[in-house]
Structure 1
């Protein structure tokens, strides 16, 4: 009797998890078949503060500032502000020499979010800026970025996320996997939601937020390890949405080694759990009270760590039930016990690996029109995805509490990036 009840519970939970997965798959199909429309062009009018929090970024900060100062946008309508923190190198002097304004953060700085809090309170809300654009020190910014953000804000956007591309997609298998992840996010998550009128996700850098919204929110106040993910939820709860602007492009340096990747994604998975704990109930409340489709979609996104945990538990429970049950028949051959469990486990891994590689290859083709140089990234993407699930499960047991920076060493310019595309 207990065996039958447990089997039915696993079946019902598996169906619910399947519906959850199908929801995201259906939206992703919109991104596959429909491209996000560009916003109309407007005359330059918005004044931007281009903000960069930098920690020991002497190798790359100069090229970022140069790319910003070369924008096809009136120079009197934007200012580049670099906030060095916890630096032991020449980040500040190099940024100053390239024409940036320096903001000196005070007190103990443990995260990028804490830097943004100070800049918003002491600069953005005090001076005549219409919006703040946030970048990471390793970024390079396309020359039309500010113009396209101006167009988005003039068109009514309060928050706008640009297209986060890669400086070094072909440098290693890990950098290839990261690049594929961002290309997937751009097309199948942000692009699809932009088409459907839902809210995109802010993903670290290359985004703009209006001063009016920052005032409405009381400034920039994030407390988790992933301030971008958190701010996306704050926007949805406040009744806003994040617009996706695919032709506002930045180029981001991706980690090269698995160790660097593990460290960074350990922080990300911790932040996703912190985000659910902090904003899950608020998103659910707004979803019910305001019947907000945006909050509903964001709530389901924030449930991803629990969906992964549920998938792992259901898989383990199903294996145990299979070992204790009657097995299954393929053709005229009966499989039971350990043999049946091994067949399903290995078969599932093979099928998921093939499916993941195929999805990665399609993503690369949609982005680059060629698979050249991305072979290792495509071939190892299933391991990258599997390790991310492991990291999520690990974060349920022990959260990462220290923000550890990733060293950036790619000193490419926009011209260098253009040569490999």
Structure 2
């Protein structure tokens, strides 16, 4: 009977099983992350000293929102004389520079149509700061996007992390416009999930986190060591994180430092942004994957698990789903055209495609539900929309499949995304506090 069973297993079944097994082996450890977050709380840090920081903002045509960010920095519960704000007005054609100056920032206009992208703009900004403001003795640099706004305690909490020895740290990334539509909500849930079930778990387990675009600091001696910001791939933040881990620098996380970020609301902007991210991840994997794999076996800095975790972060795991779907689709086409035997093969491939996509949707739905309920008070939206977007989140994530596929074969150019949403971050803080009070009464 066993021989009869194995004789009925086709190469299609074997291939699909191998894909499923590979994915499970590589990423099951992240389920342990969920267990860690639900059962353990991160240690509360206290600072013995207030340190001197520079906030660096790369902005291109961001006059509608940059004033809000600078204002949120100026009103921090932290000595204002210890924070200077620098804005790189990168190839701007509007009055971003004037708005930033009026809000109290030091502005560096930049014109360069050959070296395009945030990484190059940051490098230029760091060069000017190091040349012209070296006497101010900055101990760390904060990096923000122009559309961000900060909770009033942001710098106080990040200072505690820096004071306790961190060389770099990311922060809690929330959304300004969760309730705009299913696209902005999809982003918001993903970043909340990243903060809670990846960064917080890594912090608790004392391994390295990853900086994600905005809302992080870097110790000044790291910038000095590298001579500026020397990471210029499409996802310069992931490249920096990967390089840091390979050099033995642990990136921390500060769960109490809250940043609000504006998310795209049109599918076109979302496609362009995530296409750049996908392409950037491929670039980082191509440049650093072999070194990370080597570090998993023998990292001289003793961060083997961090190397593995980073390797899984940049590895094209989405391609496993893409490869499985494409493989089975090709089998169906070949069988339908008579080039291969039909019947069992078509049924097997159809069931495999359904199984693959269905499980992906279920997995993402579970993560969306878990994240929404755990972070319920932090999500600024009506109850009905919170519930609705738990169901749309899996389909938002499903759109990553064609994006990952196109990113394999199409070149990518940096495209700006317009930001226009102005918010009073104090209202967010009050709403969260009131919601928390109501739940505990």
For structure 2, the 5+ residue unaligned runs are 1-6, 336-342, 433-441
Structure 2 residue matching 1:244: 3-state secondary structure: strand
Distance 2:402 2:330 in 1: 20
TM-score by length of 1: 0.89
Aligned counterpart, 2:54 = 49
Asked whether 1:385 is paired with 2:397, we answer yes
Q: 1:241 to 1:129 in 2, by over 3 A?
A: same
Aligned counterpart, 1:35 = 41
**Residues 299-318 of structure 1: pairs in structure 2 closer than 5 A:** 299-303=311-315, 305=316, 307-317=317-327
User: Greater shift after overlay, 348-357 or 165-174?
Assistant: 348-357
Aligned counterpart in structure 2 of residue 412 of structure 1, from 423, 426, 429: 423
- Per-residue Cα deviation, 1:78-101 (whole angstroms, up to 9, x for no partner): 101111112111111111111111
Aligned counterpart, 1:62 = 67
Q: 1:320 to 1:54 in 2, by over 3 A?
A: closer
Structure 2 residue matching 1:373: 3-state secondary structure: helix
Asked whether 1:358 is paired with 2:358, we answer no
- Count of residues paired in the alignment: 407
- Following TM superposition, by how much is the alpha carbon of 1:137 offset from its aligned partner in structure 2, in angstroms? 0.6
- Per-residue Cα deviation, 1:217-246 (whole angstroms, up to 9, x for no partner): 332101211111111011111111110001
**Residues 17-416 of structure 1: pairs in structure 2 closer than 5 A:** 17-44=23-50, 46-108=51-113, 109-124=115-130, 126-127=134-135, 128-287=137-296, 288-290=298-300, 291-293=302-304, 294-303=306-315, 305=316, 307-317=317-327, 336-346=344-354, 348-369=356-377, 371-400=383-412, 402-416=413-427
- Following TM superposition, by how much is the alpha carbon of 1:339 offset from its aligned partner in structure 2, in angstroms? 4.3
Distance 1:123 1:79 in 2: 11
Distance 1:58 1:386 in 2: 34
- Following TM superposition, by how much is the alpha carbon of 1:343 offset from its aligned partner in structure 2, in angstroms? 4.4
Q: Is the 8 A contact 2:91 2:112 kept in 1?
A: no
Aligned counterpart, 1:330 = none
- Following TM superposition, by how much is the alpha carbon of 1:205 offset from its aligned partner in structure 2, in angstroms? 0.8
Q: Is the 8 A contact 1:124 1:211 kept in 2?
A: no
TM-score by length of 2: 0.85
Q: 1:256 to 1:416 in 2, by over 3 A?
A: farther
- Following TM superposition, by how much is the alpha carbon of 1:420 offset from its aligned partner in structure 2, in angstroms? 5.1
Structure 2 residue matching 1:298: 3-state secondary structure: helix
Q: 1:392 to 1:35 in 2, by over 3 A?
A: farther
Structure 1 residue matching 2:230: 3-state secondary structure: coil
Distance 2:398 2:119 in 1: 29
- Following TM superposition, by how much is the alpha carbon of 1:362 offset from its aligned partner in structure 2, in angstroms? 1.7
Distance 2:366 2:30 in 1: 18
The Cα RMSD (Å) is 2.5
